[in-house]
Amino acid sequence: MDFKLFLIRKIKALFFRFKLHVLIKPFEGVLINAAYLSKLSRWIDKTPKGNFNDFYNKKVNYTDRFKLHEFVFKEEIQNQTIDYFEFGVASGIAFKWWVEKNNNPGSKFFGFDVFTGLPEDFGVMKKNNIMILPDKHQIFKMTVLLLLKVYFKIHFHDF
């Protein structure tokens, strides 16, 4: 233990003294990504697969995620009272799915997004890159849906 600690401190000190960051800097991104990929891969490998699992799937289809939503809804949520938070709602496709699916008048839905483009660089996507914005039609539909929910919650609270 003492020797291990000694070694760690020595390596750190030598690293700083010989300014080894100059050598490492060009590979920082790749090394950090490799470390997190490895951690995630280990977690995937160790975590029990559960009853819903379509991994590994060569034909990735964006809408397949709703099969997972459907599973979570059926197995875990059903029509219980929920507080739904979505960070990054974009055009509101998933948000709308949950608002329509869970009809419990006590449920609350919260969606967050900058809607003005990414606030900072995110990997290959650059700052200010606008991913998907809701069109006027979708905003209108979502607003009507939410207002109806609020209306029913206020007027039919006891039902």
Query: What residues line the site for ligand SAM (CB under 6 A)?
Result: 86, 88-90, 93-94, 113-114, 118-119, 131-132
Let me know: does 69 contact 94? Beta carbons within 8 Å.
yes
How far apart (Å, rounded) are the C-alpha atoms in residues 98 and 62? 17
Kindly state the smallest distance separating residue 6's Cβ from ligand SAM, in Å.
Answer: 42
Residue (45 or 120) nearer to ligand SAM, CB? 120
Residue (77 or 131) nearer to ligand SAM, CB? 131
Residue, CB closest to ligand SAM: 88
Task: Report residue 123 as tokens.
Answer: 């990997």
Residue (3 or 87) nearer to ligand SAM, CB? 87
Kindly state the smallest distance separating residue 72's Cβ from ligand SAM, in Å.
Answer: 14
Taking residue 127's Cβ as centre, other Cβ atoms within 10 Å add up to: 10
Helix ranges (H only) for 47-135 are 65-72, 93-101
Which residues, listed in sequence order, are joined to residue 125 by a DSSP beta bridge?
122
